[in-house]
């Protein structure tokens, strides 16, 4: 059997929110978990699931972001985040929005890549950006090693914004931020999906069968969970529960990133794009998808694993 090729870091990513070079001084441990996804595809949901599986309890004394730091983000000085991770004695689970070609690859770490239909991710991103405190992001400039330019205000017309967003997918356009480029991000992982330490997870599957996907994640992470506590863990990972506890679970709540942390978890539903995007925008989406994604990846990205069975 031909040996699978291993990922190689060959790009650097810099934008207004993050720098991939912050990984350069990171020292891995054999059982590290990297939670890897583009924005608004289920990152925080997956962090919550990992926390529940690792600690096997549903209440903690710190915000989720302190247990599972976002290493790339410029809001916190690099050395502070690295020191925080070094001090952790529990199994580490680290958030990143850097594509795989910008990440170091550790054969003994576990990578969970989370995907979502790009159209659904866009609708969620629209709400997300409106809720972001740009004054907090501006303060992050002091932690950057490159010249940071905050993004221009997004067009008020969601169709115009979607057109800019989707036509810049998989390009080096200044309007394109890698952490929000769903097609490019997932494409960077797709060729390596059969490696034993990479798991492809989909937002749709989490919604369709949360318990089944949590057990699949537990098996991948080689974590044994007593049968008796599964119902409690699954309930804690539900969208309803996470929304009720948004002040503790929303990312970077310690950095004043949100105007309203309670609304970070908005609706958690799919298909809202049908009421917003028109025929022209959907044709541009199809063109971008056909140009940049192989058919198998495109089908998975829109549907998830369970719908493909």
208-230: pLDDT as tens digits: 999 999 999 999 999 999 999 99
pTM listed for this prediction? 0.93
Task: Assign 32 a pLDDT band (cuts: 50, 70, 90).
Answer: very high
Task: Assign 95 a pLDDT band (cuts: 50, 70, 90).
Answer: very high
pLDDT at 241 over 50: yes
Q: What is the pLDDT of residue 245?
A: 81
Number of Cβ within 10 Å of residue 87's Cβ equals: 7
pLDDT at 1 over 50: no
CA distances from 52 to 1, 56, 93, 233 (A): 37, 5, 11, 6
CA distances from 62 to 57, 168, 196, 247 (A): 13, 38, 32, 11
Contact between 66 and 84 under an 8 Å Cβ cutoff? The reply is yes
Catalytic residue among 90, 97, 128, 202: 97
Q: Is 90 marked active-site?
A: no
pLDDT at 79 over 90: yes
CA distance linking residue 33 with residue 95, whole number of Å? 9
Backbone angles phi, psi at 17, to 5 degrees: -105, -30
How confident is the model over 255-260, as a mean pLDDT? 63
CA distance linking residue 169 with residue 175, whole number of Å? 9
Of 122-131, 241-250, 253-262, least confident by mean pLDDT is 253-262
Kindly tell me the burial class for residue 135, based on how many C-beta atoms sit within 10 Å of its own C-beta (0-12, 13-18, 19 or more).
Answer: exposed
pLDDT at 171 over 80: yes
pLDDT at 130 over 80: no
Contact between 205 and 45 under an 8 Å Cβ cutoff? The reply is no
Instruction: Name the architecture of domain 20-308.
Output: 3-Layer(aba) Sandwich (3.40)
Q: What is the pLDDT of residue 190?
A: 97
Residue with tokens 């809001």: 75
Contact between 89 and 242 under an 8 Å Cβ cutoff? The reply is no
Q: What is the pLDDT of residue 11?
A: 92
How confident is the model over 42-61, as a mean pLDDT? 95
């Amino acid at each position: 059997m031909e040996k699978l090729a291993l990922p190689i870091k060959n790009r650097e990513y810099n934008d207004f929110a993050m720098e991939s070079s912050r990984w350069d001084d990171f020292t891995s441990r054999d059982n590290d978990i990297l939670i890897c996804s583009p924005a608004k595809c289920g990152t925080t949901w997956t962090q919550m699931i990992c926390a529940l599986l690792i600690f096997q309890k549903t209440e903690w004394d710190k915000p989720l972001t302190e247990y599972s730091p976002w290493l790339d983000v410029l809001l916190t000085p690099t050395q502070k985040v690295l020191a925080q991770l070094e001090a952790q004695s529990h199994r580490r689970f680290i958030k990143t929005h850097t594509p795989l070609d910008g990440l170091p690859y550790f054969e003994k770490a576990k990578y969970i890549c989370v995907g979502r239909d790009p159209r659904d991710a866009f609708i969620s991103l629209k709400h997300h950006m409106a809720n972001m405190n740009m004054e907090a992001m501006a303060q992050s400039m002091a932690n950057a090693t490159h010249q940071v330019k905050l993004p221009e205000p997004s067009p008020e017309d969601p169709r115009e914004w979607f057109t800019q967003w989707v036509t810049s997918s998989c390009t080096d356009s200044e309007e394109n931020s890698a952490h929000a480029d769903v097609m490019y991000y997932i494409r960077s992982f797709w060729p390596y999906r059969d490696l034993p330490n990479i798991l492809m997870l989909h937002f749709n599957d989490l919604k369709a069968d949360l318990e089944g996907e949590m057990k699949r994640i537990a098996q991948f992470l080689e974590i044994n969970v007593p049968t008796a506590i599964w119902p409690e863990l699954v309930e804690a990972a539900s969208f309803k529960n996470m929304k009720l506890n948004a002040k503790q679970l929303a990312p970077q709540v310690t950095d004043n990133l949100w105007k309203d942390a309670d609304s970070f978890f908005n609706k958690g539903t799919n298909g809202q794009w049908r009421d917003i995007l028109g025929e022209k925008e959907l044709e541009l989406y199809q063109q971008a998808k056909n140009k940049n994604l192989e058919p198998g990846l495109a089908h998975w990205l829109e549907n998830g694993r369970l719908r493909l069975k």
